[in-house]
Structure 1
Amino acid sequence: MAGTVKQSARVEVGSYDTKSVSYGVRGATDRADIALGVEHFRTSGFSAVSPKGKSADDDGYENTTLTAKGSYDLTENLNLYFAARGTKGITELDSPGQPNLKDDMHYRQVSGKVGANYLAFDDRFFSDFSVQVTDIKREQDFEDASKQNSVFEGRKVKLDYLGEYDVSEKTKLNFGGDWSKEFSKTNDPIDDSSSIGGAFLQLMIEPLNGLSLAGSARFDQHSEFGSFVSRRLTASYEVNEDLRVRTSVGNGFRAPSLYELNHPSYGNQNLEPEESLSFDFGIDKKWLGGQLSTSATYFNIMTDDLIDYDFSTSKYNQIKGTSRSQGVELEVRYKPIDRLVLTAGYTYTYSVGPDKKRLAHVPLHDLSVAMNYDLTDDIALNVNGTYLGENLGSDWPNIVDMEDVFLLGAKASYDVTEEVELYVRGENLLVQDYELINGYQTSGLSVYAGVSASF
């Protein structure tokens, strides 16, 4: 049983006294594999206060993350696996209404998953069962001694089953179910829990060459908010090797999380579930023998009782009635020569609330462009730009216009050897002074350099 071991490491330093290091090791045999990793990130940050005044100070952040995953083939058809992740971090925040004071937000999350999957009937039947546990704690330590620390602790346990059966070459059946229970505890004190269980069935068929149809239904039962049935239909037709049309329609349901309900500072116990109905239609087309590819999609999403976070009040709230988000997504990819790839994506989103007024924090125009050019076999260049136009901000109780912004970034990398890469990247190269959320400052010109290696 021969085994292999591979290692990887990365170090990056840059603006705002930013430092990031990571290391990973992976081992594998014919029947088993395991991977371990550690990463530490730290930055002094920049002030989130806008406009920046005498009371503004840098808001730092740091975290450490440990990961582990592995699997073992107990037999040719039975595989056991696990995954674990732990993160601990601190974020410096400006105290609400007192930017001269600094609060610390301590964050810890530990999660684990174990499972098994099984193949049967000549690999036509696939079955997977898993158990997951996630434990979270967030504590805001106020510098103002007159305020009580804000503490939220949450835990989630989930059982999940997924089955896939190839009925025939052109017919596939997916089915499964899951059950989860959440627990939350705060210093208010609030001690709460909720559970939700569901089952789903999906049928995928290809009645004609090039035509793929799928229909699914799911039933959910929530301990606090009752039952809900969601359905979805999708269709895709390949007219020829260069042209495809596709569409889907479906409804959805989302109950508010215990964090959204119960967090001492941000929670809102009056939240109700949101329900949605969505539709999309798209066309994918290739040109010039595949050198140029384009994609266009129209989407329309209607949401009843949308759950939103209001940055101006620092609270989750509910927009009663029907909110609508509709628009068009366009994508283009062009490869004129082997070493050069040009891409662009544009999204027009018209998002309004029940009062027909546009919602905050959803730009009307979102454009991204990029150029990737391999100067040599060892040197690669990337230039990317993002334009956000006609965005709105929230300044309770008013909605305000935000300035349009164009952000330019670039990256250059050099393969010293097959195992070692050096790179440098820059963000906000045009030194734009902008906000994405009204009243919250963003990063200025920043440059980072790093080295990554595998051995």
Structure 2
Amino acid sequence: MNQISEYKTNTASGLLVAGLSFACLAVPARSQENGSDAFFELDAISISANRIEIPVQQVGSTVDVLDAYELQNGQDIFLVDALREIPGLVLRNNGGPGGTFGITTRGLSSNRPTVLLNGIEVSNPSNGQIMNLGNLFTNSASKVEVLRGPQSSLYGADALAGVISVDTLGPGTSNGGRALFGYGSYDTLDYGLGHSGSNGAFSWQVDGLVHESEGFSSQSPEYGEAWADDDAYDNTTLNGAVKYQLNDSVSLHGSAIYIDTFSEFDPGDPAWIWGVPSSENYATTEQLFVRTGSDFQLSEKWDSSVNIAYSDVDTLSQTESGPYYASGKRYKYDWINTVEANERWTMVAGLEYEEEKNLSDVGNRNDTSLFVENVIEYSDALDVTIGARYDDNSAYGEETTYRATFSYRIEDMDARIRGSYGSSFQAPSFYELFNATYGNPSLKAESGKGWDLGIEKTLVNGKLLFSSTAFGNNVKDKIAWDGVYRNLNEYESIGLENAVRYQLSDSLRLKAAYTYSDAEEDNSAEALRVPRSVASIGGNWSGMDGKLGLNLDALFISSQYGDSSSRSAGTKLEGYEVVNVAATYQVSDLSTIWVRFGNVLDSEYEEISGYQTAGANVHAGVRMNF
């Protein structure tokens, strides 16, 4: 029996066993009293949109706020899969979860959003690559905010395509111990332990999670023996946080996250391989992110925060041609102030200093920045924000960015109109600037402007929520590679995001989304890795007094150009659909069992040209509290 046939047989057997187990055991939804408001995000609070807590209904930018329940509905192991249904996002991996990660945001295929993990920017300081969301466990996330549109006026370089802010479990999230165990296809094993608690003014949280998987062949086994073996992926993540409340107006906090991964990958396009590869290809990463600081009140209307953040990212890719290192450190110091000027005007102002060190190539740089954000409640129905930022970087010079937003609520129509317009920039990485072979020290930072205009409307006595948002981006001096890095003339994208959520009953919730994106680079060529249409549908049902939960989601991606050679040949990656089903059952107050059937239609598709994705698979496990 060949490897593919054996895999399909094992998968079918696994699905049958899991299905029988599910039929006998069943599996949690959140109780009804917790479900309705959070489903529509009516009471959700955003922090990323203005760097202060503000109700989503008053935010002018487009932001999705997902709590732990929504993130874990689908029982996805990694965050990369839990975010695929967010309108405007297209996420991709070359192979399994540990492969090279990419993201398209509102038609911007190579402009990466800023990713924050507990307030820490988690890109690699050396090559600028954002953290692979396939390395972050969904189970450890307590909240995710996806902020779309240009955000450099708040977050500086690399926020041209928006911000993804991830909060992990922290002090006060829960009390007591927790454990999880899971097993599934590809000999995948997941296990973890954690504890949260408090003692007087001191509170803490600590978690350890491990993922071990034999994986699957990330490229076609038909290429040869070197491509036919399974590509393993291992991940060990440790994170912890502490908080100490000195008094009513002063607190101290600290958090740390350590991620250690190992992933195998295939040699690449056989057309570029001379002979049979003589060594295995693999990548290792060690990432440490630490942040400590203090929140305090300078007066009744003046809150202040000082923080120090440290990032240390070491990556090694071992290939046939030798090792490639991308390692760097980042030190960031910030002082953020929130001043209530009057009942309707709040000002947020900050001073930041950042130092980046490239350990694998030439170049260090520092950046000093100052930003101001004005949050104005112009009337009971209208909220407006106006903000600007100044950055002075030792490597690419000075940048000034701005942003304005509005949110207008039409109470008589149960509707809201919102919009934003702003400028942003994306800095060239150390690799793009200083690499001895491919770098270009004359590269300029990309500069962009973007806008969106949206409407939200509730129907059926508030049970049905519809939203539609038009958006556009224009990027100048976009960085591209054609043997050496250079600045393109221009890159443009335009599109429409639509979403519907319907609470059919207390136990059944439905949702659907559709995004259309049209992007061009150099004024004529259709952009790479930008599918014109992305759609998703889903549903979540709870029963047995909230103990049983069933979840279904389906994702549909249209065809797209995967790389420049396929665009030259006029050959696109085929569109595809993926359907996942999950179920949970709360056995007791202390234990919950779950099962997830991934790609139940066993669709064969590629997210990145030449790289396979998982076929039909099943994972199941148990979560316990003690």
TM-score after normalising by structure 2: 0.67
Match of 1:126 among 288, 303, 306: 303
Q: Does 1:141 align with 2:311?
A: no
Give the Cα separation in 2 of the matches to 1:171 and 1:379. 46
Match of 2:213 in 1: 43
Give the Cα separation in 2 of the matches to 1:226 and 1:385. 45
Question: Counting helix residues as a fraction of each chain, which structure ranks higher?
Answer: 2
* Larger Cα-atom Rg: 1
Give the Cα separation in 2 of the matches to 1:395 and 1:111. 35
Report the CA distance between 1:20 and its aligned residue.
1.1
Match of 2:242 in 1: 70
Give the Cα separation in 2 of the matches to 1:384 and 1:52. 32
Q: Give, as a single letter, the amino acid of the residue that structure 2 aligns with 1:350.
A: D
Q: Does 1:29 align with 2:199?
A: yes
Give the Cα separation in 1 of the matches to 2:207 and 2:588. 23
Q: Which has the higher contact order (CA 8 A, sep 6+)?
A: 2
SS of residue in 2 equivalent to 1:149: strand
Match of 2:458 among 276, 286, 305: 286
Give the Cα separation in 2 of the matches to 1:441 and 1:287. 42
Report the CA distance between 1:51 and its aligned residue.
6.9
- Count of residues in Structure 1 that have an aligned counterpart in Structure 2: 441
Amino-acid identity (%):
27
Match of 2:610 in 1: 439
Report the CA distance between 1:272 and its aligned residue.
3.1
Match of 1:350 in 2: 518
Report the CA distance between 1:442 and its aligned residue.
1.1
Q: Give, as a single letter, the amino acid of the residue that structure 1 aligns with 2:554.
A: G
Question: Counting strand residues as a fraction of each chain, which structure ranks higher?
Answer: 1
Q: Contact between 2:369 and 2:390, CA under 8 Å: does it hold in 1?
A: yes
Match of 1:104 among 282, 285, 294: 282
* CA pair 104-51 structure 1, distance change in 2 beyond 3 A: closer
* CA pair 339-318 structure 1, distance change in 2 beyond 3 A: farther
Where do 1:259-408 residues align within 5 Å?
259-261=431-433, 271-307=443-479, 317-318=485-486, 320-377=488-545, 378-396=547-565, 398-399=567-568, 400-408=571-579
Q: Give, as a single letter, the amino acid of the residue that structure 2 aligns with 1:115.
A: G
Q: Does 1:171 align with 2:345?
A: yes
1:210-233 per-position Cα deviation (integer Å, ceiling 9, x unaligned): 111110010000101110110111
CA RMSD in angstroms, aligned pairs only: 2.2
SS of residue in 2 equivalent to 1:58: coil
Identify the range of structure 1 (89-98 vs 383-392) with the bigger mean alpha-carbon deviation. 89-98
SS of residue in 1 equivalent to 2:540: strand
Identify the range of structure 1 (348-357 vs 337-346) with the bigger mean alpha-carbon deviation. 348-357
* CA pair 175-453 structure 1, distance change in 2 beyond 3 A: same
Q: Contact between 1:152 and 1:264, CA under 8 Å: does it hold in 2?
A: no
Q: Give, as a single letter, the amino acid of the residue that structure 2 aligns with 1:12.
A: G
Q: Which runs of 5+ in 1 are unaligned?
A: none
Q: Which runs of 5+ in 2 are unaligned?
A: 1-173
Q: Contact between 2:307 and 2:334, CA under 8 Å: does it hold in 1?
A: yes
* CA pair 259-16 structure 1, distance change in 2 beyond 3 A: farther
Identify the range of structure 1 (27-36 vs 380-389) with the bigger mean alpha-carbon deviation. 27-36
Give the Cα separation in 2 of the matches to 1:35 and 1:344. 36
Q: Give, as a single letter, the amino acid of the residue that structure 2 aligns with 1:25.
A: H
Report the CA distance between 1:52 and its aligned residue.
4.0
Q: Give, as a single letter, the amino acid of the residue that structure 1 aligns with 2:500.
A: V
* CA pair 306-436 structure 1, distance change in 2 beyond 3 A: same
Q: Contact between 1:32 and 1:73, CA under 8 Å: does it hold in 2?
A: yes
Q: Does 1:409 align with 2:580?
A: yes
SS of residue in 1 equivalent to 2:351: strand
Match of 2:329 among 155, 158, 161: 155
* CA pair 387-319 structure 1, distance change in 2 beyond 3 A: farther
Give the Cα separation in 2 of the matches to 1:438 and 1:51. 15
1:356-380 per-position Cα deviation (integer Å, ceiling 9, x unaligned): 2211111110001101011322110
SS of residue in 2 equivalent to 1:140: strand
1:118-141 per-position Cα deviation (integer Å, ceiling 9, x unaligned): 02423x211111011111111123
Give the Cα separation in 1 of the matches to 2:593 and 2:600. 20
Give the Cα separation in 1 of the matches to 2:436 and 2:586. 50
Give the Cα separation in 1 of the matches to 2:608 and 2:284. 23
Q: Contact between 2:561 and 2:567, CA under 8 Å: does it hold in 1?
A: no
SS of residue in 1 equivalent to 2:203: strand
Report the CA distance between 1:54 and its aligned residue.
3.2
Give the Cα separation in 2 of the matches to 1:397 and 1:370. 33
SS of residue in 2 equivalent to 1:396: helix
Report the CA distance between 1:271 and its aligned residue.
4.3
SS of residue in 1 equivalent to 2:233: strand
Where do 1:55-66 residues align within 5 Å?
55=225, 56=227, 57-66=229-238
SS of residue in 1 equivalent to 2:611: coil
Report the CA distance between 1:23 and its aligned residue.
1.1
Match of 1:235 in 2: 406
Q: Contact between 1:302 and 1:324, CA under 8 Å: does it hold in 2?
A: yes
Give the Cα separation in 2 of the matches to 1:262 and 1:412. 50
Q: Give, as a single letter, the amino acid of the residue that structure 2 aligns with 1:337.
A: S
Match of 2:425 among 238, 245, 253: 253
Q: Contact between 2:179 and 2:625, CA under 8 Å: does it hold in 1?
A: yes
Match of 2:265 in 1: 93
Report the CA distance between 1:113 and its aligned residue.
1.0
SS of residue in 2 equivalent to 1:38: strand
* CA pair 153-248 structure 1, distance change in 2 beyond 3 A: same
